[in-house]
Structure formats: structure tokens, C-alpha cells
Structure 1
Amino acid sequence: MNVKTMLIRPLSAIILASSLLVGTVIAAEQPLDRVAAIVDNDIVMYSQYQTRLKEVQQTINKRGVELPPEDVLRQQVMERLIIDAIQLQMAERSGIRVSDEELSDAMATIAERNGLTQAEFEQALAADGLSLDDAQEQIRQEMTISRVRQYRVAERIQVTDQEVQNFLASDLGKMQLAEEYLLSNILVPVPDGATSDDLAQAQKTVETIVAQLEDGADFAQLAMTYSASENALEGGDMGWRKAGQLPPPFDRLLASMAVGQVTQPSRTAGGIIMLKLQDKRGDEAVYRDEVHVRHILLKPSEIRSPAATQQLATRLHERLRSGEDFATLAKQFSEDPGSARNGGDLDWIDPNSLVPAFREEMARTEIGQLSQPFESQFGWHVLQVMDRRSTDSSEQMREQQAVNLLRNRKYDEELQTWLRQIRDEAYVEIKDI
């Protein structure tokens, strides 16, 4: 794979949003020659423009797609450079930075996902005419632009509870949140206008396959031997599919099948087909551990030193062990405004929502027992675990999936609106290119 193309593809799993940048890495800029465009307080040099234009042309040629008219392509390339410049200036003004550590992690991930060591990665870059510095700068810019978009676009998106419920009730929502099945297939072809002999021969082949499956033969091996499907050499692997993407009767059959089962042969337009259910996902119940806990929080202040705060926590712990009422002491002493009025009761809470110090001490404390006084970033605590439970949160998970899908859909729409807006508001002067 060409390294310039390779650099960008894995980046989509690192950054949170897609970029308008062309899917290649720009080589080092040529020596400055003249200004191609003024964009607010920045400039686009003609060398930048020429480099990007060449990269776009090479990418399109590799895809085997006809190039657009030259004037159209030139305009599109310049517009992308202008949009990039606007966003990078916004990042500069907002103090948005990508640290060296984050950049290093991103580069390591790209190398790893392409099966390369760091040394091999740098060699591949060099062979493609890129230095490591060139590649790092391009990735840093992409990550920076992505963060600008997240800050400026994501905050404009709202998903209401009613939208979530409407989506869950819609056919589209049901399809997108439906179970997924990992399938393999064997297709025994039946030609158009098949004669009775053709049908008999196809049926005989199917019976042979079924008999071998019953004897324990490997489905993938049989697919490579008998199947006329385009994925036969991959053992009939169809990948993950939703039931709604399959023709009848398979859309109904799969829900009642166990992993490892094979459907009965069924006639389709292309012949006689059978499917094997290799795996499924999306139907598992999702359970969440919750803890019913209460606590007393004491915070150091200008009039109470950290040492004095710890001593007070120790004295309260002793009073609780002596039998004094937890709720009464919490109302009197706790400095957690959210729980003090309720006797320190935090109700049922997901441990993952708590800071590590509190979560770890709570995990060590038995039901009905008091913890030792301990310190977190908020101050000194004494907690008591009231109970533990595991709750089915499948419905909440489905709702969160719906929220994510709706937000992603709105993000794509809002992003284009925002990009047009910032382009319209920017001062841009394009020179002769």
C-alpha cells in the first residue's frame, strides 16, 4: 500500500470526526515562491497549493476515476486549503493543541494497524518521499482540525428524549439497532431457464453437501468446493449482516437459530442457498453493577488544615463505630452539598462514575460496613456500603446507541453548515493560480 494513502485511513479511528482533507499526506512544502491566497491572518503559498493539487491528482488516478475538469479541480483544492487555514487559525486562537505524546501515540497506532514496526514505518515513508517530520505535521494538523470541529460543531447539536423515542419506534431505528449475524453461505447455482435435468443435478449437489455437513464436514471447505458465490474462496464468509438486509425466509429464520446451525437449503434467484450462523451480537442483555452507598465528606479549608481535616474524619469514624447514627452525623458535618441533606446517601450509583479513590475504597468495603477514613481529590471521606446489585441496562444501552446515531447524523449535517458559515465569514483573497 502506498504510505501516503496508508497514513490517513487509520487516523479515522483516532480522531473523532472525518476531515475534508484529501486522503494523502502532503510532502514537505517547496521553497516559498509567492502567495496563492490570503485567509484572514494567514496565507496559502503557491507551493502548498501545487503540492496539494499534485497529491489530489495522484489519488484520483490511483482510484481509476476520471479527473474532473482542471479548473474545477483547481478551485476545489484551493477551497480545501482555505477551509483548513481557517480552522487552524481558530485552533490557534482557542489554544487547541495536540501534544507531542498524543501525536506519537497516533503515529504508533497508524504503524501498528499497517503491520509495521516504527523503523519499517519510517523506511516506508522515506521510500515514498516523505520524512517523519512531514508526516507528523500533517497528522498533527488533521487532529487539530478534528478537535476544532468537535468543540465548535458538537456543542451545536442537541438530541431530545422525544427524538430518541421516535427513532427507536421507527423502522430505520429498529433496523439499525437490530441484532447482527456473522454468516457464511454456500450457493449451488441454478441457471436461468433451467431444465428438469439442471434442477435434478442441483438438488443432487445440495443433498451431497447436506450429507457431508451431517457427517461433520467443515462448512468453509464445502463452500470452497461447491459454492458458486463470489465469496466461495473465503469459505463463503459474508461478514456481519442484519436480518433486514437478507431476503426471506432468512430474515425470519436467523432469530431462532443457535450459533453454529445451518439453515435448510432454500431456492433464491441465483440458485439454492444455505447459510451458517457463525456468530451473533446485539441481543445480549447488558448488566451494570450498582452500589447503594452513603458518605461523609470533609474538605480542608483556610480555617482547617489538611491534617486537622484528617483528624476530624478519624473522630467521626470512631463515633460511627460506637453506634452514632450515620445520617445524623452526615447532615451535621458532611460538606457534600448534593448528599448531606439526605444523610450522606448517594443512592444507587455506578462505580465507574466515581473517582478512583472512592471507587476502590467502596470495592473493598463489605455490605453494611464502614470504610476507614480515606482521601480523594475532594477531601476526606468515610463511607458505608448499604447494598450491591446488578441491573439490566439493555434499554438504557439501546437509548444511548440511538443518541449516538442521531448525534452522528446531525453532526454530519451541522458540519457542512458550519464550514459554509466560517468560509463566508472569513476574509479570503485568492491570487492568480
Structure 2
Amino acid sequence: MVKPFMSRLSRSALLLAGLTGLASLPVPPAAADGVDRIVAVVEDDVILESELQKKIAAIRQGLAQSDTPMPSGITLARQVLDRMILEKIQISLAEKSGLRVDDETLRQAVQQIAQKNNLTPEELRGSLRAEGIEYPDFLEQIRGELAQQRLRSNQVNSQIKISDREIQNWMETRGKSGADPNAEFLLGHILIATPQAAQPAAVQAAREKAEKLVADLRQGLDFRQASLSSSDASEALKGGELGWRKLSEMPTLFADLVPKMKKGDIQGPIRSPSGFHLIKLLETRGGDVQRVTKTHVRHILIKPNELITNEDARKKLETIKTRIEAGDDFGDLARGNSDDKGSAVKGGDLGFVAPGALVPEFEQAMNALGPNQFSDPVQSQFGWHLIQVLERQESDDTEELLRKQAQDEIFKRKLAEETELWLRRIRDEAYVEYRIPELAPDGTPPPPPAKPEP
């Protein structure tokens, strides 16, 4: 039987908003006087019981369709609340850092979601309504997710450094694992976290919990259910799935184990600064090296700042495009206007780039262009781009391409590790107070940390 279209839309659209994987959960009944109770205090914000109920109701259908066994309602409610707390913390940090998502950026994000589902924005709105999802709530989820992406880009991505030695080591060890370097693995992951500067007793308790979980899993406990009920990892509400990855894209502590595993095997506990990890090999798939089409591209970047609004940046690029179409030289305008100083001195030239080398928004627009064609202004996390494709060529898997692949895959590996550590750190440092005891991690509200003096 063909599933309703909106089933596919719900999973696609809500995944961007960070919502997929929740279910209808019982939470303590509302106060007798009908007052909307506070479930938790997070920094200077609060999470209301109605917010928790609404989020649960909004994606109930998604988890039911995935056929994931349900843990107890209160256990999953804690997982959902923990994710909401982490979202609030990130949004609070983004606001304090001045990382605000304007209406134009939000409009474009919604348009992209609609296009991926072959809908107009108006049809998307109607489809969400048919699913029982209020459009203003959907917009706020998208706005929050975009703010979190920008925050992580500023505080995590920008701090990752890759040395020439790391690239050389990657190239030297490529293929020595015995696995096809292009093979991909689908892993399940569970993290039993330990706080920063954890006391030995806390570390031992986490280890024992992880060891018991491994034993239960090997005796038949469903991995997705265990992730939903026990994991502290960011992908817990997706059943623990890490997605398809090559060995070179995995954290080092996993990559050394996976080639020796068979489908269904479980490894762990694996100690890291974040805590104790359990992994399960769900599926594998291989692939041959293919010829790669590289694109010679140049661009002009305009970044919004204190003096230039987001809309002003876009309009400035439209004016520049009009001048180019009237005969002005792209290179000269790039040298005089582009905020990408590295490429501006070369007339905006980025050289030949391989697939995956650029941010998705840029690459999607670039791939839609033919040689010598210009894009309309395209927004990415860096600002607004005017893109021109100069030419394309096919290339074998050369050393240059291998170095680029090494850099990309080392970055992805480090990003996963550093993001997990960063999320644990900001959670540990944040002011969080549980107002409903049974929703606290251990069933009792911990004493809240003292808020620093302003």
C-alpha cells in the first residue's frame, strides 16, 4: 500500500527542524487550576508543559511509522526534555553572540524544504496543517535550527585545524584497514555520558551502566529502543543511527573496530572524554572509485555586518550582477567588492573544486549552472554569493583529489568528536532547573548551579 504523501514530508521537513523521532508521551497532569506549568528553567528562559506536549503531539506519527519499540513514557519524556533543554541552551548562546536568523533567511529555508518535497510554500503550509502542525511553530523550529547551525559553525567548525601531517597519515594508511576505502557503514551508537571532571565513582557508575547495556543488547534488547531510553548522544531520538559513513569519516575510536565487525556485531564500552560508547554495525555497502567532475568556479561574497543588513547584502550583489551583464569585468568587481579576501585578489577565482568541497547551498547553485553562466544571489552561512561557472572537467582520483578528500574526511571526523564534547560542555555549564521531579535525569531534581553574577 502506498503511504500518504505527507508521511514523507513530515520526516523530511521535521528532520531539518530537529524534531524527527519523538512520540506521544505521558507527562504529569496539568495543574488543577489550568495554569501552564513550567517543566524546566534554562538560563533566562523556560520550557512550558504545553511546549513539551505540543512537540510530542507534532511528531507522534513519525515515530509510529518507524516501528521503533517504545520505552516507558517517562523515560522517553526525559530524553525529549533533555533535547529541548540543549536546544534552548544553543539558542540562548546564539542570541548572546548576535547570531539572529532574519525573515529572509527563514523564507529561503522554508522554500528549500518545499522544493525538496516538490511543493510550493503555500502547499507546504497546507500539508503541515493537515498533519496537525501549526505553521508558526514550524517556522520557529526552523529558525531555531538555523541559529544552532550558525552557532556550531562559529564555535566548533571554525576551531578545527588540520595539519599536513594528519593528511599525510591519512593517505599513507588509506586502504590498509583491509576494508574497501570506498565502503560505507551504517552504525548504531549509544553514549553513556560522563560530565566534565567526573569523580571516579561517577565514571565507574557510567561504565557499569554501559556494560549492562551491552549484555542486554547481546541478549536481544532492541538497539533503537535502548538508544531512545538510555543514550546521551545527539542522535538518540533517531534510534542511535549515525548515518552512512566511510571509515575515514568515523571517529578514530570507532574506525579501528568497524573493519573487524560483522553485520549485527556490538562493540563496547569504548572509553572517550565524552563517556562510554556502544556501537552496532547495522549495514555495509561498497563502492568503486569513480571519475570525478570538477568545476572551475569564481564568486563574489558580500557578508552582512553591523552596517550592512542581510537585505542590503543581497541587493548589492544584484547590482553587481547587473553591472557584469552590462559588460563590467567580473574579476575587477570581485577584487573591489568581495569579502572573501583569499579569492578576491584572484578575481574571485576558487579554481577547480571537487564535489563536496563547498557548502551545500553554494554547490547546489553552482551545479545548476552551465559554463559562463551566473547565479542569482545565493545565501550560505558565510553571506551572499554571486557565482559564475567557468568550465568543467573530469578527473581521476589523483593525489590532489586524495588530499582534498583527506582534508574533508578528517574534518568530518573531528567535527563529530568536537561537537559532542562541545554539547556536553555547554550543557554542564548552563543553568538548568527541573520543576517536575520525575522528568529530571535521575528522577529527582539536582541542585541547580549558581548563576554567575552579571
Q: TM-score, normalised by structure 2?
A: 0.45
TM-score normalised according to structure 1 size: 0.47
